[in-house]
Amino acid sequence: MKKKMLILSLILFSLTGVILTSSLTSAVFWACFSDGQRIDYCNPNIPDRTANSNNYKLCMDSFDSARNCYTPGNWNVCNTLPPTCTGGSGGGASLDITPPVINLQNPVNNSLYKERAIPFIFNLSETSDVYYLDLINGRGRWTKVCSNCKSYSNKRSFKEGINTIRLRAKDRAGNEAFKDITFFIDSKNPVIHKIDPKKGWANGTFILQYSEDNLKKINLSYGNSAKGFKVSNLQGCVSGKKMWCKINNINLSQYNNQEIQYYFMVEDNAGNRAMSRIATLSVDTILPKINSINTTIDNNKVKFKINITEVNLDVVEYMDNSELRPKWKKLCTRLDNGICEKQVSFREGGHSILIRVSDDAGNTANNPGININIV
């Protein structure tokens, strides 16, 4: 009797084990996925994943078709199952072949920024790893922006001048999207190197040397408190390093025999500005006047007696065009009752002589030329 009871107990124990095993194995299954297929877990604390090969197999407990997500199973139990995919394999998960969509909000294409550190803002249609490549100065190296992100908003520094960058977003399935953007950085103020004239006299010509790679305009302001100030825009000025620009024929007649102040203002396309120092000048817009030229020849010597009207004389000069290399030579630097008188020696032969009178403001007057003959 006892022996029969023992056999019966063993049979019941075995059946119970089979029932327990059947109950346990029925709750788990192998789910197989294709390369690139997305696997979403119902538990938000479990990272989702993407199949990286065909016949990618995972142990699952259940599949929620309404939420299209899985609950992971017990791998120890799955390992007792046949190595084949059963119910729910692939259940609702789709093959991800669509690249992420990049919505870049800043920087804006072809925009100009006044600071090197600018807002870098974008969002993505799906979680991705994001990098950018500097197509001008990057030397082929990608710079990471963020990992497993769907949006980004932070400042990033870029080089002065033109920037062209390529944005790359790679999703979990390895799909990639790219976006190119070009923008400009101009954070530096223009530099003014020289102005002319710096002191002395003004005759309507003003010159500036400057450096600016992104030039917008250059203005000249001039005048005085008695007659008022005016502004003129310089034309034809170009961007670059240590560039010269000049404005001619500024009408200063209303300021004649007065002092004026002037300065330049240089502005770039980003709105950065630089102002030159303020210079004070005397104004003389009246040209010297040559009233008469008399010459007296004594052997090889010629005496010049030139009557001139000019209150701010700089120099009276002559040029002998019969010389091999003609050049201006000084006759007088001052007038005696409006007269410049000087004796000059010449070689034998004919000579064509030009006379030039210059005042302190740079105004000049020339005679049409006189001919003399030394015998």
Q: Which domains does the chain have, with CATH numbers?
A: 27-96 (no CATH), 102-185 (2.60.40.10), 191-283 (2.60.40.10), 289-374 (2.60.40.10)
Torsion, CA 59, CA 65, CA 66, CA 70, rounded to 10: 10
CA gap 71, 234 in Å, rounded: 75
CA gap 12, 308 in Å, rounded: 141
Can you give the pLDDT of all 375 residues of the chain as single tens digits? Answer: 444 454 444 444 343 433 333 333 347 888 888 777 888 999 999 998 888 777 788 999 998 888 889 999 999 998 888 877 765 444 444 556 789 999 999 999 999 999 999 999 999 999 999 999 999 988 899 999 999 999 999 999 999 999 999 999 998 878 999 999 999 999 999 999 999 999 999 989 999 999 999 999 999 999 999 999 999 999 999 999 999 999 998 999 999 999 999 999 999 999 999 999 999 999 998 899 999 999 999 999 999 999 999 999 999 999 999 999 999 999 999 999 999 999 999 999 999 999 999 998 889 999 988 999 998
Three-state SS at 101:
coil
Does the CA dihedral 118-124-127-132 come out positive or negative?
negative
First to last CA, the chain: 169
DSSP E strands, 2-141: 29-33, 38-39, 49-50, 56-64, 69-72, 102-106, 111-113, 117-134
Residues 6+ apart with CB under 8 A from 251: 204, 285
